[in-house]
Amino acid sequence: MVRAKFKVNSVKNYEHGAAEVMMEPISSGSEENKHFWKYTPSGTLSMWIDNPDAVKQFVPGQEYYLDFILA
């Protein structure tokens, strides 16, 4: 498993109920964030979500752990 930590930059809602969530790796703000930045590559994450209840979970400015586990 690989764990990364990302921050939500924006949530763009669309008329048909879906939303696009844009995230990027964190880089500062706490000692934990500095630790994650050291090992997390730079980049962006874009997700299209078609479930309104799921979209509500992503708040701009909030930080989230991303766990990558082999399926």
Per-residue pLDDT, 50: 94
The structural domains of the chain, with segments of one domain joined by +, span: 2-68
As a whole number of angstroms, the longest Cα–Cα distance in the chain is 40
| Mean of pLDDT values over 42-64 | 92
Of the candidates 11, 19, 3, the residue with the CA atom closest to the CA atom of residue 62: 11
Pairing of strands 63-68, 45-49: unpaired
- Euclidean distance between CA atoms 63 and 9, whole angstroms: 10
Using DSSP, state whether 53 is helix, strand or coil.
Answer: helix
- pLDDT band of residue 59 (cuts 50, 70, 90) is very high
User: For residues 61 and 23, what is the distance between their CA atoms, to the nearest angstrom?
Assistant: 9
Q: What is the pLDDT of residues 8-51, one digit of tens each?
A: 999 999 988 799 999 998 877 777 767 766 766 678 999 999 99
pLDDT at residue 25, as a whole number: 87
